[in-house]
Amino acid sequence: MLQKLKEHQFLFEELVARDFKTKYKRTVLGMLWSVLNPLLTLLVMKIVFTQFFGQTMDHYTTYLFCGNLVFNYFNEATSQGMTALMSNSHIFTKVNVPKYMFLLSKNVQTIINFGITLCVFFVFCLIDHITFTWNFLLLIVPIVFLMLFNVGVGLILSALYVFFKDVQYLWGVFTMLLMYLSAIFYTTSSYPPLIQNLFYCNPVYVYITYFRQVVIDGLVPSVGLHALVIGYAVAAFAIGALIYKKKNHEFLYYV
């Protein structure tokens, strides 16, 4: 697998370059949108939930930003990843290239966006008087596994999308549901313990919680949370990889 990747490194670089160039083509602000977009979302949410819903919590901006950071990355990576295979069908029906390349190159793009947003996030933490501790190094865990998780979900979705175009509409609704279930702008502490635990069924919530525990609460998350963070990512990736392996030669018939 690694050897194969190396063999196709040039193709991979070119695909990433292509995705990048086509994405920011004809936008005035170009890459700056990667910074502006999450900030504007954050601003809207902050205004709505503090002014209209009277949410007054310590570090609420950071709390919101944690949620937005993770959820937006997840949303962008999966919904863009979904069409990665289909939109490159004109290539893989003509040339024999590994099909997961298209998804990975799309993911590189969203990872870069995520990285930029992450830097902005840390700046906001500073402004919000968050104390930086060595614990912050732990953030590498949810970041790495969130990437893996997103690639996994992307693999599953892009494969499904080839077979059923309906997936894109379903996924749109589903991500909205997921957003409301991810406790991005509210806290779960007012729910009974059983309901609170049910939130952990939502992978996005798990990654957000990890971020919040480290950044806002200054904690080292529990072993159980680590297990969830790793488990969801590995499971999603394994399923996605299996589908690609099984269906590798069938995609062709459905494009």
Partner 1 sequence: MTAMISCKNVSIRYITGDFKDIGLKEYFIRRLKHEYHVTEFWADRHVTFELEPGDMLGIIGSNGAGKSTLLKAISGIMVPTEGTVQCNGKIAALLELASGFDGDLTVRENTYLRAAMLGYSRAFVDETYDSIIDFAELRGFEDRPFKQLSSGMKSRLAFSIASLVDPEVLILDEVLSVGDGAFRKKSEAKMREIIAGGATTLLVSHSTGQVRSLCNKILWLDHGNQIAFGNNVQGLCDAYERYLNTKKLPGKDELPPLFIDEAPQSSSQPAADKAEQVSPASEQGAAPAGGESSGDPAQASARKSFIQRVAHLPKAVRITALAFAALLIVIAVSEATLPGRIQALPLNEAALMCVNDDEGIQVCLRDNKLYVFADRACTDASGLLFAVRAQDSHGYVTRETFDIASRANGRYSTSDAYVLEINLARYVGYTELQYGEVDAASPMAGDEFDWAWSETYTRGEQVTLKRG
Please say which residue, 38 or 244, places its beta carbon nearer to partner 1. 244
69-88: which residues touch partner 1 (CB under 8 A)? none
Please say which residue, 43 or 227, places its beta carbon nearer to partner 1. 227
- Under 8 Å CB-to-CB from 238, ≥6 apart: which residues? 152
Q: Does 219 bind partner 1 (CB under 8 A)?
A: yes
CA distance 35 to 125: 15
Among 22, 52, 134, 173, binds partner 1 (CB under 8 A): 22
Q: How far is the CB of 40 from partner 1 (least distance, A)?
A: 26
> Quick count: other Cβ atoms within 10 Å of Cβ 169?
9
Q: Does 35 bind partner 1 (CB under 8 A)?
A: no
Q: How far is the CB of 197 from partner 1 (least distance, A)?
A: 9
CA distance 55 to 203: 25
Q: Which stretch binds partner 1 (CB under 8 A): 63-71, 74-82, 95-103, 199-207?
A: 95-103
Q: Do 11 and 91 contact (CB within 8 A), yes or no?
A: no
Q: Does 174 bind partner 1 (CB under 8 A)?
A: no
Q: Does 14 bind partner 1 (CB under 8 A)?
A: yes
Q: Do 78 and 150 contact (CB within 8 A), yes or no?
A: yes
Q: Does 131 bind partner 1 (CB under 8 A)?
A: yes
Q: Does 218 bind partner 1 (CB under 8 A)?
A: yes
Sign of the Cα torsion 218, 122, 67, 144 reads: negative
Could you tell me which of 99, 110, 111, 116 has the C-alpha nearest to residue 23? Answer: 110
- Under 8 Å CB-to-CB from 1, ≥6 apart: which residues? none
Which residues sit at the interface with partner 1, rule CB under 8 A?
A: 2-4, 7-8, 10-11, 13-15, 17-18, 21-22, 25, 56-58, 90-98, 131, 141, 163-166, 189, 193, 216-220, 222-223, 226, 230, 249, 252-254
